[in-house]
Structure formats: structure tokens, C-alpha cells
Amino acid sequence: MRMPSRTITLVIGLSLTACSQRPVDPALERYIASIKAVDDHAHPMLQLPPGAKPDTEYDALPLDALPPMTLPARLRADHPDWIAAQRSVKGRSIKSPAEALDFAGIDVMLSNRVAMGAGLTSPRFLWVPFVDALMLPLDGRLESARTPDTRSLYALETKLLHRYMNDLGIAKLPASLDDYVKTVVTPTLGRQKKGGAVAVKFEAAYLRALDFDDPDPNLARLVYSRFASGGTPGRAEYKTLEDYLFRVIAREAGRLGLSVHIHCTDIAGSFYSARGADPYLLESAFNDSTLRATKFVIIHGGWPLVTHTLSLMAKGNVYADISMADMVAEPRQFANALRMWLNEYPDRVLFGTDAFAGGPDQTWEAGALLAANSARRALGLALTGMLRDGVVTRERAEHLARMVLRENAVALYGLGAAGAAATGASARSVPERSAPARSVP
Ligand SMILES: [Zn+2]
């Protein structure tokens, strides 16, 4: 069949364009690769000698306590990207957690752990402890009976609260809510801050919906004093107390200069409530004028409800990180979310990995590499699109890359002068903090 000559010219023209334009602008790609990132959220593991008892403090609610669940394909150990990342990490024979960061191009990793320890030290690893336990001082039997997932999780929170109280030398719950806040909540946050924490983390979405209302404080006081010494509150009663304590904890954290991280995405668990983790449910808390001194971070960017997250960034004290979402979504798809956010609130978007250990074939070191590579690819695609569409200059595209990968986190957590040695710098370009993280007993 003969093709009309005009069509032939058109076809040749299109294929030349396709050849000359790589999906990510090569100079931008090199620039993005050179930025030493600050990882907003991950679960690095302790560096333990062979034969030591296993590290169990990488999460307050380890998912292995849950009944078997289905994970998105890109989070499974048998996904080709995981296998490739695992192989690169193995081939490199990494000797310390800090070397794993170097390999993934990460300068600082915010470490969401119950406690820090061997190999996880400041300034490369900064601590983000858990605070859900402080919100759950009463018998949660009715709450925990709700689903097969929640059954095991509440007991873990009770254990953690006992540990926090034990650290303070408190054997039993005070009789009044105000005393509980004064002698347990505030001092625990203070200890965490002193222990090097830069933020605190709620993973409440595993336990309940994120609709933290603003209850009458007197009702919360009544529920607490009625059940502090025994008995099981009804679910509505307990919610009143939890909602009140969520706001107290967030307010106290803000006063101490600790950001508040909130797990917000549609997984994980077979009985997890995706609807209960809609970012919009947080709007009531974000609109609390008494919480404006608190900086909130929507961890995992509310994926896949990224438009809801976008709207919440208008609050002035709300940020979003891309941890885990950059693993779950393929880069091209995630680039769309990034581009949308960067057009409206470029100073609110934080890089993150959610590097976690899922078993021998799924190490946190490989997770860090996989997520960092995926995130850089997605960022490259988003910024290349903006550059080619004339939305940003090359200089602005590079600035946006620095903001997402590093500068926004540096500004949010006060890690040092934003932009200082942001590219091609030594891995220690963030100055040591005044309160270095140390292992917490
Ligand atoms: Zn996580």
C-alpha cells in the first residue's frame, strides 16, 4: 500500500521527536540524582551483631501481627523492581545503615521507630517516635473487638503506654484527665523531644477513622475519670476521649516544636478502613485554630486521594510526604500527583521512602533504594513535563527538585540553612543538631 507523501513526512517527523526527547530531560535527571535527600519517613533497622535478639522496635504496630493481607504488587518482595533493588544492595555489600543511605542518595533519614539504637545515630538518622498510645489510656476491649486486625493492635498500644509510664516512674493511671495530661502526656512528649525527636507519629488509621472531632472537654474528663481505674468505655465514649487527647497531644507537640506525622493512605490490612483514612477526615483537626502552631505532615500523601491532600495544603500548617506512595505507584502515574501539588503548594511536598524490612528478601536498605529511585524518576517526569510545557524555567525546575528532595524538610525540621550544599555535597552537609538523637532506654 502506498502512503501519501505528507503522511510519510509526518510519521518521520514524529519519530524524530520521540527519539530526541527522552521522557526525563537528561540534564535535569543528573541534577536530581545529585541532590542529597532528606527522607521524611522510614523504618530503618538496628545494626545488630549476628545472634543478637531481633530488632522489634521498628514500628509500634508491626504489620506481621495482622492476619494475612494483600499488598499492592509494587510492595511485594516478588515484584521485579524489588528483586532488582535487593540485588543491587546485596552486590554492594553494605556494612552500616549510613552506607545504605549513601547508596540511595539520602543524607538524613527520619526514622519512625519506638526507640533508636545501634547504627541509627544523629545526624544521619533522626527519631520520630509514636504517640497513639498516649491517646488510648483506657481499656480498649470494645474498640479492639471491631475487626480481626484491631484485635492484636490495641494490646500493642497498651503495652507501649505502660512502657512510657514506666519510663516516667508512674505505676498507675492518675485519677483525673487533667492529671493524666500533666503527668503522662506532656512529660512523655518532653522526653521524646529530649531524646532527639523532630516529630511524633500517629498511626491511628490502623485503629480507627481519622475523624478527630472537637468534643466538650468536660465530657472527655467524665469518660476518663469513670474508667481510669477499671471498666470498659463504650465506643462512642472512648472516641470522645481519644478525640480530645489527639488535640491535646498535637497542641503539646506544636508547643515543643515537634511536627505531627499522620499515617494517611488506603492500606494496609484486610480489615483496614480506606474510607476512614481519607485525608479530608483530618480537616476538622487542621481547622482547629488552637492547633495552628503545630505542623502536620500527611504521611504517604494520602495516596491515592491526592486531590484531597492538595486541598488540605491550603491550611498553612499542613505538609505531605510521598513515602510509600512512590513505591506503590509507578513513577509516570505518581508524576501526575507531584505536578499537581508542585503547581499549587511547592513548599509543602516532602520526599520520603517508608523503607521497611519485610523479610529476608525485602530489606529496608533495598526499600530505601527502590523508593528513592522511583521518587527521583517521578520527580524527573513531572518537572520535565512542566519544563517542556513552558510552565517553569530550568532554574525553577531545579529549585523545585531541591525543595522536594531536601529544602522543604530542612526548613520544616530546622535542620540547618535551607539550600546549603544541596547538591553534590558530602553526606554530612546537614549540621549536627543541638539536641542529637540518642538511644532511648
Ligand atoms: Zn511507615
Per-residue pLDDT of the chain (441 residues; tens, 9 = 90+): 444 555 555 555 555 555 568 999 999 999 999 999 999 999 999 999 999 998 989 888 888 888 889 999 999 999 999 999 999 999 998 999 999 999 999 999 999 999 999 999 999 999 999 999 999 999 999 999 999 999 989 999 999 999 999 999 999 999 999 999 999 999 999 999 999 999 999 999 999 999 999 999 999 999 999 999 999 999 999 999 999 999 999 999 999 999 999 999 999 999 999 999 999 999 999 999 999 999 999 999 999 999 999 999 999 999 999 999 999 999 999 999 999 999 999 999 999 999 999 888 999 999 999 999 999 999 999 999 999 999 999 999 999 999 999 999 999 999 975 333 334 333 334 433 333 333 322
Tell how far the Cα of 368 is from the centroid of ligand 1, in angstroms: 12
Tell how far the Cα of 22 is from the centroid of ligand 1, in angstroms: 33
- Distance between CA 168 and CA 171 in Å, rounded? 9
Grid coordinates representing 256? 515543643
- Distance between CA 250 and CA 260 in Å, rounded? 7
Tell how far the Cα of 114 is from the centroid of ligand 1, in angstroms: 12
Supply the Cα-derived Rg of the chain in whole angstroms: 23
pLDDT at 303: 98
Tell how far the Cα of 355 is from the centroid of ligand 1, in angstroms: 7
pLDDT at 350: 98
Closest CA relative to residue 259, chosen from 331, 171, 192, 353 = 192
DSSP 147: S
3-class secondary structure, 36: coil
- Distance between CA 311 and CA 321 in Å, rounded? 15
- Distance between CA 401 and CA 386 in Å, rounded? 12
Tell how far the Cα of 225 is from the centroid of ligand 1, in angstroms: 34
Question: Is domain 23-413 in CATH 3.20.20.140, yes or no?
Answer: yes
Pairing, β 349-350 against β 199-202: unpaired
pLDDT at 441: 28
Q: Is the pTM of this model over 0.95?
A: no
pLDDT at 5: 53
- Distance between CA 294 and CA 252 in Å, rounded? 8
Tell how far the Cα of 42 is from the centroid of ligand 1, in angstroms: 6
Tell how far the Cα of 20 is from the centroid of ligand 1, in angstroms: 39
Tell how far the Cα of 29 is from the centroid of ligand 1, in angstroms: 27
- Distance between CA 69 and CA 349 in Å, rounded? 30
**Preceding omega of 217 cis (within 30 degrees of 0):** no
- Distance between CA 178 and CA 182 in Å, rounded? 6
- Distance between CA 279 and CA 298 in Å, rounded? 8
**Cβ-proximal residues to 39 (8 Å cutoff; 6+ apart), any chain:** 101, 106, 108, 109, 110, 323, 351, 352, 353, 355, 368, 372
Tell how far the Cα of 113 is from the centroid of ligand 1, in angstroms: 9
**Cβ-proximal residues to 244 (8 Å cutoff; 6+ apart), any chain:** 177, 215, 217, 220
Most distant pair of Cα atoms in the chain: their distance: 90
**CB distance 299 to 228 below 8 Å:** no
- For 340, other C-beta atoms within 10 Å of its C-beta total 15
Tell how far the Cα of 128 is from the centroid of ligand 1, in angstroms: 11
Tell how far the Cα of 111 is from the centroid of ligand 1, in angstroms: 9
Tell how far the Cα of 218 is from the centroid of ligand 1, in angstroms: 34
Tell how far the Cα of 164 is from the centroid of ligand 1, in angstroms: 21
- Distance between CA 116 and CA 121 in Å, rounded? 8
Amino acid at 388: R
Tell how far the Cα of 354 is from the centroid of ligand 1, in angstroms: 5
- For 226, other C-beta atoms within 10 Å of its C-beta total 13
Tell how far the Cα of 19 is from the centroid of ligand 1, in angstroms: 39
The residues spanned by each domain of the chain are 23-413
Place of cell 500493642: 156
Tell how far the Cα of 420 is from the centroid of ligand 1, in angstroms: 28
Would you state the torsion angle of the CA atoms of residues 365, 366, 372, 377, taken in this order, to the nearest 10 degrees? Answer: 170
Tell how far the Cα of 119 is from the centroid of ligand 1, in angstroms: 19
DSSP 68: P
Exposed / middle / buried, residue 64 (Cβ in 10 Å: 0-12, 13-18, 19+): exposed
DSSP 405: I
